[in-house]
Structures are given as structure tokens and as C-alpha cells.
Amino acid sequence: MSLVKAKNIWKIYGEDIILENVNFTMKEGEFCTLVGPSGCGKTTFLRMLLGVENPTKGELFFEGNDYPQEPSDERGIVFQRYSTLSHLNVIDNVVIGLEFEKSKFFGKLFGKEKKEAYVKAHEILKAVGLDDSSTKYPHELSGGMKQRLSIAQSLVKEPKLLLLDEPFGALDPGISKDMHELLLDIHAKLNFGVVMVTHDISEAFKLGTRVLVFDKVKTDKDYPNRFGSTIINDIDASKKGKNNEK
């Protein structure tokens, strides 16, 4: 069964066609990277996969069912900007996600459930290499550490689909290389599906098992949004990715 299936998706804002006729099927555990010019609709597409934006036309399925109308913990997102809460330390930034997931009304856990949440949060912080910093506050972390915390916040909820919108764009090259290894490592262990937007073509090929190129097939220079973007290329990068690793 597919994890995500998009059939003839269109996104139109007013008179502007942003995406047209997008067809996309993704299997469980696949790592898709998404590239394309600025403004072509990559973030819009990601927001549809998250479930916070509806297609104007077309059909979208998650695990074979109609797309859930609300975001859920089955799908997590990490943006270029950090999503940490400044008044909470590292471990509590991770635990709070579990508290809202399990206790929608109170937003708090007690007793045994609370202990379990901390155990789980420590495990995921270990996986992203932040467990030694669990009592630090976000302002005491470097950019790379903050981004690892954002990833931990999503992963602790064990999403089936992780959506990443240029997550490493703001990091120094050396740090983003470490983040690549971290992400590939966690992905190999947990095997969630990934759709990751990036501006960096070499990052797209290094990380993705599949590289999707978004662009317009037709253009009208007098009216840029007369036509929308679609997937103009869907490249198997699984072998290339491995060669690049070595």
C-alpha cells in the first residue's frame, strides 16, 4: 500500500495557478527530496501532505484513505526556522509534544505516563546527539543543535511521514553534513517516509532515494501564474546516493 498518493492535484489561489496536475505515489519508508525554483509551490505541496492545506482539485490519500482533515502526529514537519519553545529546556521541549499527543485536554501527563514520556524523550535525544544538553535552554544551543531539537520534537511522536522544508538551509556546511549523516542514520533505523524540500541539488541527491523536480511545463511571461508547476522529473537516486556516500 502507498503511504501517500496524489492524483491530479491542483492548487489555485484566486486566479493564480500554483500547482497543476501533480501525480505522486510514495511508498512507506521512501526518502523523497523535492527541488524547484523559488515560488513554484514546494512549501504549498508540503502543507498539503501535512494536511493543513487542501488541494483545489484532485485527490489525496494517506495510506489508501482520504486525507485526514486535520494535521496529526502521523505526519510531522520541520521548518527552516526552529520551532522550539524558549521557556522550556531541551528535554521538556521534547516531552511537551508527547503531553499534547496523549493528553489533549490537560496538555500534561502524570505519574507513570510522565515517566515513560521522559524515557522516550531521552532516547530520541540520544539518537540526535543532544542527551548531554537536555537541561539547556534553546538560547544556549547552536543552530545545528536547535535544528536537531526540532527533528527530535517531530520524531518522538513516531510519525509515518516526516516533512522537512529546507531544514538545513540556515546551517554552516560542516554542520549540515553532520545533520545529513544523522538524518540518514535515524531514517535507516526507524524507516519513516520523508519528503524534504531543499535548494541544494547535491543535498537532494545525497539524501534522497528519489529526487522530484517541480517546475512549470508552460510559461506566460505576461502572467507568471497562468500555469502551475508539476513534477517534471522523478529521478531514482537510490544507487547514486550510495556511491556518493563513499
Question: Which residues of the shown chain bind ligand ATP in the complex (CB under 6 A)?
Answer: 13, 18, 36, 38-44
Q: Which residues bind Mg ion (CB under 5 A)?
A: 43
Which of ligand ATP, Mg ion, none has residue 40 at its interface (CB below 5 to 8 Å by kind)?
A: ligand ATP
Instruction: Name which of 142 and 233 has its Cβ closer to ligand ATP.
Output: 233
Instruction: Name which of 73 and 215 has its Cβ closer to ligand ATP.
Output: 215
Q: Min. distance of Cβ 218 from ligand ATP in angstroms?
A: 16
Q: Min. distance of Cβ 14 from ligand ATP in angstroms?
A: 7
Q: Which residues pair with 17 in a beta bridge?
A: 12
Residue 161 CB partners (closer than 8 Å, separation 6+): 3, 4, 49, 62, 74, 75, 76, 192, 193, 194, 195
Instruction: Name which of 28 and 53 has its Cβ closer to Mg ion.
Output: 53
Alpha carbon distances (Å) from 124 to 121, 147, 176: 5, 14, 19
Q: Give the ranges where 103-209 is alpha helix by DSSP (H).
A: 111-127, 143-155, 173-190, 201-207
Q: Min. distance of Cβ 89 from Mg ion in angstroms?
A: 30
Q: Min. distance of Cβ 75 from ligand ATP in angstroms?
A: 17
Instruction: Name which of 24 and 91 has its Cβ closer to ligand ATP.
Output: 24
Q: Which residue is nearest to Mg ion (CB)?
A: 43
Instruction: Name which of 2 and 43 has its Cβ closer to Mg ion.
Output: 43
Q: Min. distance of Cβ 88 from ligand ATP in angstroms?
A: 28
Q: Min. distance of Cβ 18 from ligand ATP in angstroms?
A: 4
CB 58 within 8 A of CB 228: no
Which of ligand ATP, Mg ion, none has residue 176 at its interface (CB below 5 to 8 Å by kind)?
A: none
* Amino acid present at 115: K
DSSP letter for each residue of 104-131? TTTS---HHHHHHHHHHHHHHHHHTT-G
Alpha carbons 145 and 132: distance in angstroms, whole number: 11
Distance of CA 79 to the CA centre of its chain: 7
Instruction: Name which of 41 and 144 has its Cβ closer to ligand ATP.
Output: 41
